[in-house]
Structure 1
Amino acid sequence: MPNEITIQTNIPENIHTVWKLYTSPEHIIHWNFADPSWHCPSASVDLKKGGVYKARMEAKDGSFGFDFEAVIDEVKEPTHLVYTLGDNRNVKIDMQESNQSTEVVVCFDAENENPLEMQREGWQSILNQFKTYVESKKTSHS
């Protein structure tokens, strides 16, 4: 049984907006990378059981890139999403709203190639980018 890693953040926005920005390809491309030297040039999501989630992540200098792909196992909009990665690791995202903010909790099975802390930091960095993106959207609409 693989180790499970949990990361989380709290975003000062309603759950419906957070869900939309988390699951829509036109938004995913703006936040789905761990470091500013990377980007996500393309993404697609078929948001249903058996649907496919794909995102291309690349270093901006073109030195490295990879395709992140998963099959969606469960969708309960706007609170719950479960998918299985190509290497059979599971990822679970839960969202809960309270006091005009949304807590986002991501639990994922660790892989065996990199230290657990490195994996936690990488996924947390992506979640932090997401939070920053959501907050910037709120600011731009105010």
Structure 2
Amino acid sequence: MEHRKKVMVQCIVTVSVEKVWKFWTEPRHIKNWNVASDEWICPDATNDLRENGAFSYTMSSKDGKNSFDFKGTYIDIIPEKLLKYEIEDGRIVTVVFSEQGTETEIIQAFEAEDNHTVEQQQAGWNAILQNFKNYCEDPETDE
């Protein structure tokens, strides 16, 4: 097995860990925040939230020219604390949720792939994480 560089993104969301967990794991919410830029949409999301359960998020450009499915299988789940999964290409992703009073820290670590620079990957994953933060903190977002 080749050694892959580990990359990390993180943020503090000013909502409870219960709300963060719900918005991170429920497909109806995932479709609203899981994009890296305004030129993309996430029209479909499925999530079988259990160990060995699978998830799939369709990512599509708004112009319809590009589309791909981001798929993986859960390795470990501790509700409101940890998600660890393997994505289709064999890379491992770990997401840690830490309650800090009325805020929640999210630390997401992933193994880098070879098609893009580490900086590009970190920027993309960070953009998605920032979209998640904005979605959670938006007072107009329905639970």
Which residue identity is paired with 1:103?
A: E
Compute the displacement of 1:141 (Å). 6.8
Match of 2:85 in 1: 83
Q: How far apart, in 1, do the equivalents of 2:50 and 2:72 lie?
A: 12
Query: Is 1:97–2:99 an aligned residue pair?
Result: yes
Match of 1:65 in 2: 67
Gaps of 5+ in 1: none
Q: How does 1:1-142 map to 2 (within 5 A)?
A: 1-136=3-138, 139-140=139-140
- Deviation track 1:29-64 (CA, whole Å, cap 9, x = no partner) reads 000000011000000000000000100000001011
Gaps of 5+ in 2: none
**Superposition RMSD in Å:** 1.1
Q: How far apart, in 2, do the equivalents of 1:106 and 1:62 lie?
A: 29
**TM-score relative to the length of structure 2:** 0.96
Contact 2:46 2:55 in 1 (8 A): yes
Contact 2:93 2:110 in 1 (8 A): yes
Q: How far apart, in 2, do the equivalents of 1:89 and 1:44 lie?
A: 20
Compute the displacement of 1:73 (Å). 0.5
Which secondary structure state, in structure 1, belongs to the residue aligned with residue 59 of structure 2? Answer: strand
